[in-house]
Structure 1
Amino acid sequence: MNKEIKAIYTIWLREMTKFSRERVSIASSLVTPVLWLFVFGGGMGINVRMGIMGNGYSAFIFPGIIGMTLLMTSIRSGISIIWDRDFGFLKEIMVAPISRISIVIGKALGGATTAIIEGVFILLLAFIVGIHLSAIQIILVIPVMFLISLGYNGFGLAFASSIQSSEGFQGIMGFIIMPTFFLSGALWPLTNAPEWLKAISYCNPLTYGVDIMRHIILGEGQFLLPADVLIIVCFATGTLILTSHFFSVKK
């Protein structure tokens, strides 16, 4: 057991070391969410009828922008598997006397941690859109961010483990990230959406992650909070099990 924990920690630490050295990449990955929040939120807020958005449009999309940050960072961190394979590191750890699930957990925890760091940066900008978070709200929202990040990091790792090139991975992820974001209810309430759009959105795990954060940050949400939490926990657990299976069958 101690050997497995040490392996998980070592892989996690390696991911953190790589993350700390990619300062330009970190800064650039934060530009898109900030632009969405202040440019899109501010511009659309002028033209959107508030309706049920009692806190204003920028405040309404704020949890969704955090969700987008977590989604983008988590899924794209899966590309580290391809880089590790190209440089031979993946082969070394695959033949090491540790379980494959420890490799997956270490990689997933590393990716989730980097996503949370970037998500917390956006979270700290809440006051700019008129949201004043208490310490309790911050403490409550971080575990939710962790579950979202863990789930989508597992999703990214699962895809990356079966794709041979980083270009192919980035191309496929480009078709997944934005539709997932747009169909999560991050930018508009789903209550008035067409039925076909609701049906698709209800199959999107990010929908429930964003809804949990709205419950915590804004005190409002579309679904029951326990149901949201259950779905996100199942999603995170399911993607990790799926990724562990993919790694287990690899030679």
Structure 2
Amino acid sequence: MAGDLYTKRRRLIQTLSVLVLLSIPFRFFCFDLDGECIRLFGAEFGLATMFYPLFGIVALLLLVVGMGMKKGRLFCSHLCPMHLFLEKVNRPKNGSASHRKGIVWLWSLLFSVMLTEVILSFFQPLENQIKLAASGNLPILGTGVALFGGFMFLFVGYQERFCKKGCPYALIQMLLQSDLTRTMKFANREKTCTNCRKCEDICPMNLRARFESKGPDCTNCNLCAEACTTELGKGNTLFHFHDPEPETAVQ
């Protein structure tokens, strides 16, 4: 039950994060260059009050980093578009090489277009982008092509390797995590593991879940625990979150 609640909460947060991103092309959240203000769901923050939304964004980032020190790479599994992409393309049913290639390209195109438009629309509404592009405006064309090409390069060519080796948040998480950071623990004391490898097949980060879930690349998405439950039956899983407690001094 705890795993189900965790997954439902994670899916809810993922959905909300995608909706926030999609609100930008619709100009619910954007920077209005003409009005020199930030628009946030109907409210306007000019030069004198722009501090408030910016402070909120910084506070949210600090909250995510702070929670990561205790709960692990929550940003990755709950908010990051790359992780959502990896969950789509690294499903077990996409395992065959020929089928997976088409899936990767399809989702890469969708995510690259979405993220490119999100960034451009934060500063310019879509109709302005079309007019500028039609008139041959090099800055808007160059920025759009560079963003789209960069995202396609990451989604098609690097995928989880970017998360492990190139993501700035991954570096921050590695620096901040400690012996008190939550990990996903695999325990097979009663030797009930069937070696089905469903935990490895479902892992978005392509980890050997039974051996690498305690490492810095695990995002605590809980998919391995759910796959294990599917194999061993309801309520049975060999994967559990482990929240270390600080050691108390011996009196």
Calculate the TM-score normalised by the size of structure 1.
0.31
As a proportion of its length, which structure holds more helix?
1
Q: Could you tell me the TM-score, scaled by structure 2's length?
A: 0.31
Q: Based on CA coordinates, which of the two structures has the bigger radius of gyration?
A: 2
